[in-house]
């Protein structure tokens, strides 16, 4: 069992170092109304896991492993709960009223495939095409074409909204 003071110190240090990373994990793995819930889940899971930390790996790797697995579990539970809710509230008026730009982003993002999803997310994060190209290892011209197709799809889908 780790010393309680040492545990507090490790926790505070790791969170301070990985706070932005934690935010990105939460943002990419939870719906917009649950970002903070997932962040909280990860923090609690990390806090409880610290008792078993044996310095076999770096604390950053340990934290990332906990965050990734917790996010995975959260996504699975959340996805299931959402599907169940949808079966209870199939009324389209309810869904329509609930639509705001952020929900539209989520809804639209869920329809995109792997690379399109990444391109769209980076576009929302305001990265330039050069930065996207460096991050994804895809040519700029290809990214521009992809993004223009995505924009058309978006326009088509939310024309009447």
Partner 1 sequence: MELEQVKAAWQREKAMYFHEVDPKAILADTKQKAMKRHRDFNRQQMTQILCGLLCLGMMASGYRRADPPISNAGLVLMLLCLALMLAGSVILKYRLRVSHPWLPEKEFVAEEREKIAARIALLRRNVKWFLIPALLGFVAWQAGLAHSAKMVIALVVVATLACAGIFWFYRWKLRKDLLPILEDIDRELEYFRNSSKSRPE
Binding-site ranges for partner 1 (CB under 8 A): 8, 11-13, 15-16, 19-20, 23, 27, 32, 35-36, 40, 43-45, 47-49, 52-53, 62, 65-66, 68-70, 72-73, 76, 79-80, 83-84, 87, 100-102, 104-105, 123-126, 151, 154-155, 158, 161
| Least distance in angstroms from the C-beta of 132 to partner 1 | 14
- Taking the CA atoms of residue 69, residue 40, residue 75 and residue 118 in that order, the dihedral angle to the nearest 10 degrees is -90
C-beta of 66: minimal distance to partner 1 in Å?
5
Structure tokens at 141: 């011209």
Q: Nearest approach, Cβ of 124 to partner 1 (angstroms)? A: 5
- Which residue's structure tokens are 């906990």? 66
Report the residue number, 40 or 139, with the smaller CB distance to partner 1: 40
Spatial separation of the C-alpha atoms in residues 112 and 117, rounded to whole Å: 5
- CA-closest candidate to residue 148, choices 108, 128, 120, 124: 120
């Amino acid at each position: 069992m780790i010393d309680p003071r040492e545990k507090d110190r490790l926790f505070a240090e790791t969170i301070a170092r990985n706070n932005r990373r934690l935010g990105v994990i939460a943002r990419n793995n939870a719906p917009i109304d649950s970002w903070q819930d997932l962040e909280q889940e990860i923090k609690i899971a990390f806090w409880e896991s610290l008792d078993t930390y044996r310095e076999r790996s770096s604390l950053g790797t340990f934290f990332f492993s906990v965050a990734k697995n917790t996010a995975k579990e959260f996504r699975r539970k959340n996805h299931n709960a959402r599907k169940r809710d949808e079966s209870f509230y199939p009324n389209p008026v309810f869904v329509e009223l609930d639509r705001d730009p952020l929900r539209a982003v989520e809804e639209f993002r869920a329809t995109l495939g792997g690379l399109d999803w990444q391109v769209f997310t980076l576009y929302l994060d305001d990265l330039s095409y050069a930065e996207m190209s460096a991050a994804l290892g895809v040519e700029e011209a290809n990214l521009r074409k992809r993004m223009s197709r995505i924009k058309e799809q978006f326009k088509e889908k939310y024309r009447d909204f």
